[in-house]
Structure 1
C-alpha cells in the first residue's frame, strides 16, 4: 500500500500516462514497500494546470512507518520518471505524503495491518 495520485497536464497521451503509472508502481516496490504488491494503487489523472505552474502534483496516502530515506527515494524515482515522460523539471515536482493509521485503510472490507519493513 500506498495510494498514489499523479496529476499531469490535460491532453497527456494515454501511452505516456500508462508508462508513468507502470514506472511509479515499480518505484514503489523498489523504494517504499519492497514486499508488498497487492496493495499498491497508482492512478494518473489530468488536471487543468501547466508543467511548472502547479504540475506535476503527486499525493501519496500511506500507513505510518516509512523512514524519510524511503520517501526521498520514491520522490527521486518519480521525478526521474516524470522528467523522462513529460520533460518536467524535478524542481517543479510537488509530492505530498499523508500518513493515516492502518485502521483507516480498508481493502475488501478489511482494515490493513500496521506497516512493517520488509526486513522485519
Structure 2
C-alpha cells in the first residue's frame, strides 16, 4: 500500500479530517478533532494507529512490521510499517478500522449521533 492508497482509504471513512499540527510532514487524521492515525508521505511509509493494549502486544509479537508507537503512548499506539513489510494491506485496513472505532466509541454519545 502506498501513501495515496492509504490516504484514500482513511478519507473514505465518514467525517474524517486531517491537518498538520506538528509540522508540514506529519499528517494527522481525526474524527471529531480526536486523532486516530498519523503518517508521513516518505519512505519507509509508516502509520501510527491507536490500538487496544492487549491486541497491540499480540500484533507486535506476530509482525515484524508492527512496533510500539513512535513518539506516542507505547501502551495504546502502534507504528505499522507499510513499505517492504510483513503486514499485508487487508491487515493494515483492519488496523485503521480498529483505531477509528476505538476513538469513535470514546466520543460523547451526542457527538457520535451527530456524526452518523
Same fold (TM over 0.5): no
The alignment's TM-score, normalised by the length of structure 2, stands at 0.31
Structure ranking higher on relative contact order (CA contacts 8 Å, 6+ apart): 1
Structure possessing the higher radius of gyration over alpha carbons = 1
The alignment's TM-score, normalised by the length of structure 1, stands at 0.31
